[in-house]
Amino acid sequence: MLGGLGTVGATAMLTGCQHFDKAIVGGEGWIPKQYQRSKYWPAQVRGRIPIHPESVSIDRNDEKCILCGQCIEACRGVQSVFKHYELPIVDDVICVDCGQCIMWCPTKSITEKSSINQVMEALEDPNKFVVVQTAPATRVALGEEFGLPPGTWVQGQQVAALKELGFDRVFDTSFGADLTIMEESKEFYKIVTGVYDRHLPLFTSCCPAWVKFCEYYYPDLVHHISSCGSPMQMVGATVKTYYAKLNNIDPEQIYTVAIMPCTAKKAEAKRLEMNASGRYWGNEEIRDADAVLTVRELAQMMKSAGIDVTALPEKDYDPILGKSSGGGLIFGATGGVMEACMRTAYYWFTKQDLPDEMLDFKPVRGLKGIKEASVEIPGVGTIRVAVVHGLGNTRVLLDAMRRGEKTGYHMIEVMACPGGCIGGGGQPRSALPPNDKLRQERIEKLYKKDALMKLRRSHKNPEIKALYENFYEKPGSKLAYKLLHPVYPEGRKPRTDNINITV
Ligand code: SF4
Ligand code: SF4
């Protein structure tokens, strides 16, 4: 018996998994094939998390699994997902796609679900116009795959590598982050001023693992999540509408790829509702984001093509979706979305720019699990905000709110990964398990770059201004809602129907 081996977690997990169909737990059965007779078990059997064979975000190679239980540490300990529901569960494996288990797995048994082949096919197809975008956090981590120290800035080299790989256009997800700030800060402004009849606090919506976590565990709070799509989705929808029209490109021929620090983005791109551009053109087959590659997958493609990031000249993003503000850039760090949002919300409330000396919103920076801060806005009063990263910390905050111990927030930023996207499940595995030193090095570089930029407020970005002048008209317009705020076919449906929540 496993219990006789003095193992942790494995007994309960194996018992629970007897309720699963073999196909559900991974084709090879719960215990990897090589360990199906107890005398072959490794010395330290601690068990493992279930992974659905049809997961669109993560994959497991059974042959590499040593049942060490590190994935349990990540999923249950750090993220408070595994074992926070009761088995048996019906038709599902509860996973929010964050990929933190990948970052803890010592044997690389767990990986992202690869999208390299699909992207290569698109690049080789002469009828496809292949557009790629890169998330803020990727440019301070890609270098690590090529031996550079954590936090090395390789933005221009990454762009050059993507052009060398054959992408037709290279755009910046930080531009999409500026666009998100325009929409989200306007939504916030309208809730605070009573234009929208909705309750505070407003939760950020750009992290799909957080959104799924909320749908599973806190369905009563789902309606507090901003209606905005994520920066990745906003760029995808804008490319297939505005950019396609402007350049007379058939949207059906455009293939959009996103380089992300994230595995949850793979799942987000596949959510039913993420086809705003398809609905715009009357062809539901058109998806806003066709494929998502993690930073590790991009590095793999580069290495296969003999491209070394350290030997590349820097190149610029392509206009007209390639310019970003410092606000868009710091989206990659915990607290960055809130900081950027306040820079622009201040403008909506006062019709004046946030004074330069208030641009660095230091109380929301850093790696403390739950951060609280306030901003004084003339004529409005005190805006109280909270920032949380890591889903375990998120659970602590939300439970305190449910108990009435934490109240009065106007806005809350939630990022599923420790440190925010710089610590995402698609980043290089430069420390195992990831630690705060690594996270801090990546974060520091984003803040340093932001501090050096002249353009630090999203609403000042000239490409964003042009986009509204030429297409969306104004933040929160009818067209902006159609393309940038996902429509959930059955409403923002809680996922709790098929699980029993335990704490
Ligand atoms: S991706 Fe995240 S939620 Fe899913 S199994 Fe891994 S750690 Fe758990
Ligand atoms: S914090 Fe960032 S990297 Fe992590 S799941 Fe959310 S969006 Fe993805």
Does residue 226 contact residue 205 with C-beta atoms inside 8 Å?
yes
467 burial class (0-12, 13-18, 19+ CB within 10 angstroms)? buried
Reply yes or no on whether the pLDDT at 9 is more than 80.
no
- How high is the pLDDT of residue 87? 55
pLDDT, tens only, 41-61: 777 788 899 898 889 999 999
Q: Locate 16 and state its tokens.
A: 């629970």
* Lowest mean pLDDT across 74-78, 142-146, 196-200, 466-470: 196-200
Residue 333: phi, psi to the nearest 5?
-115, 150
Q: What is the pLDDT of residues 344-396, one digit of tens each?
A: 999 999 999 999 999 999 999 999 999 999 999 999 999 999 999 999 999 99
> Closest Cα partner for 151 from 499, 501, 451, 430?
430
For 503, counting Cβ atoms within 10 Å of its Cβ (0-12 exposed, 13-18 middle, 19+ buried), the class is exposed
471 burial level (CB within 10 Å; 0-12, 13-18, 19+) = middle
73, 112, 183, 268: which one is catalytic?
268
Q: 32 falls in which pLDDT band (50, 70, 90)?
A: confident
Q: How far is Cα 118 from Cα 125, in angstroms, rounded to an integer?
A: 11
Query: In the predicted model, is pLDDT for residue 29 greater than 70?
Result: no
Structure tokens at 271: 């959510």
Mean pLDDT across the chain: 91
Residue 250's identity, in one-letter code, is D
Residue 74 has pLDDT above 90, yes or no: yes
In this structure, what token pair is assigned to residue 61? 């190679």
Q: Which class for 481: exposed (0-12), middle (13-18), buried (19 or more C-beta within 10 A)?
A: middle
CA–CA distance, 91 with 89 (Å, rounded to integer): 7
Rounded to whole angstroms, the Cα distance separating 17 from 29 reads 9
Residue among 55, 262, 421, 458 flagged as catalytic: 421
408 compared with 13, residue with greater pLDDT: 408
Instruction: Please answer whether residues 371 and 364 qualify as being in contact, where contact means their C-beta atoms are separated by less than 8 angstroms.
Output: yes
Is residue 3 predicted with pLDDT exceeding 60?
no
- The model's confidence at residue 39, banded by pLDDT at 50, 70 and 90, is confident
pLDDT of residue 36: 74
Alpha carbon nearest to ligand 1 atom 3, residue: 95
Comparing 42-56, 163-177, 386-400, 407-421, which segment has the lowest mean pLDDT? 42-56
Residue nearest to atom 8 of ligand 2 (CA): 262
HSE at residue 220, side-chain half, CA atoms within 13 A, is 4
**Active-site residue, selected from the candidate residues 112, 144, 183, 184:** 184
Residue 12 pLDDT:
35
Distance (Å, whole) CA 50 – CA 69? 11
Ligand 1 neighbour 49 (Cβ under 6 A):
yes
Predicted pLDDT at 119: 98
Asked about 228 being catalytic, the answer comes back as no
Region of poorest pLDDT, from 213-227, 327-341, 397-411: 213-227
Ligand nearest to the backbone CA of 439: 2
| Protein residues whose CB sits closer than 6 Å to any atom of ligand 2 | 98, 207, 209, 261-262, 264-265, 415-417, 420-421, 424
Instruction: Tell me the HSE value of 202 on the side-chain side, using a 13 A CA sphere.
Output: 26
Q: How far apart are CA 187 and CA 179, in angstroms?
A: 12
- For residue 97, give the ligand 1 atom closest to its CA: 1
The SS3 call for residue 133 is strand
pLDDT at 27: 37
Q: For ligand 1, is residue 112 a contact (CB within 6 Å)?
A: no
Q: Which residue is it, tokens 């590349």?
A: 312
- The Cα 317–Cα 329 span in angstroms is 14
Choose which residue among 48, 49, 391, 429 to substitute to test ligand 1 binding: the one with the highest number of ligand atoms within 8 A of its C-beta. 49
What is the pLDDT at residue 84?
Answer: 87
For the CA atoms of 288, 293, 294, 295, what is the dihedral angle to 10 degrees? -110
What distance in Å separates the CA atoms of residue 325 and residue 331, rounded to the nearest whole number?
Answer: 11
Backbone angles phi, psi at 385, to 5 degrees: -130, 160
Task: Give the dihedral sign, CA 394/199/235/452.
Answer: negative
Res. 140: pLDDT tops 90: yes
Return the bridge partners of 324, or none: none
| Mean pLDDT, range 93-121, rounded to an integer | 97
List Cβ neighbours of 62 (8 Å cut-off, separation of 6 or more): 26, 28, 32, 33, 34, 109
Both structure tokens of 105: 């797995």
Please check the confidence at residue 24 and state whether its pLDDT lies above 50: no
User: Which pTM does this prediction carry?
Assistant: 0.93
What is the three-class DSSP state of 338?
Answer: helix
pLDDT category at 281 given cuts 50, 70, 90 is very high
CA of 64 to the centre of ligand 1 (A): 18
> Which structure tokens are listed for 239?
């490319």
pLDDT at 288 exceeding the cut of 70: yes
Mean pLDDT of 440-452: 98
pLDDT range class, residue 14, cuts 50, 70, 90 = very low
Q: Which of 83, 186, 265, 266 is catalytic?
A: 265
Residue 317 has pLDDT above 60, yes or no: yes
Report helix, strand or coil for 400.
helix
**Is 441 one of the annotated active-site residues of the chain?**
no
% of the chain beyond a pLDDT of 90: 82
Counting from 1 in the atom list of ligand 1, the atom nearest the Cα of 425 is 1
Q: What is the dihedral of CA 408, 336, 287, 161, to 10 degrees?
A: -170
CA-nearest of 329, 434, 346 to 389 is: 434
Domains and CATH numbers, the chain: 3-112 (no CATH), 118-484 (3.40.50.1780)
Beta partners for residue 382, in sequence order: 376
The whole-number pLDDT of residue 333 equals: 98
Is residue 203 within 8 Å of 228, Cβ to Cβ?
no
Q: Residue 20 pLDDT > 50, yes or no?
A: no
Q: How confident is the model at residue 487 (pLDDT cuts 50, 70, 90)?
A: confident
- Ligand 1, atom 2, lies closest to the CA of 98
Q: According to the model, what pLDDT value does residue 26 have?
A: 40
- Whether ligand 1 lies within 6 angstroms of the CB of 82 is answered as yes
DSSP secondary structure letters along 48-105 = -----TT-SSEEE-GGG---B-HHHIIIIIIT--TTSEESS-SS--------HHHHH-
Torsion over CA: 349, 459, 443, 266 (sign): positive
Whole-number Å distance, alpha carbon 206 to ligand 2 midpoint, is 8
Give the position, in ligand 2's atom list, of the atom nearest the Cα of 420.
1
The two three-digit tokens of residue 254, written as one number: 């455009």
Q: Say if residue 11's pLDDT is above 90.
A: no
Answer yes or no: is pLDDT of 497 > 70: no
Residues 389, 420 contacting (CB under 8 angstroms) = yes
Among this protein's residues, is 184 annotated catalytic? yes
What's residue 90's pLDDT?
A: 57
351 burial class (0-12, 13-18, 19+ CB within 10 angstroms)?
exposed
Atom of ligand 1 nearest to the CA of 79: 7
Helices (H), 351-434: 391-402
Please name the residue whose Cα sits nearest to atom 4 of ligand 1. 95
Pocket test for ligand 1, best of 13, 96, 268 (most atoms within 8 A of CB): 96
Q: Which residue has the tokens 């995402």?
A: 424
pLDDT over 60 (residue 8): no
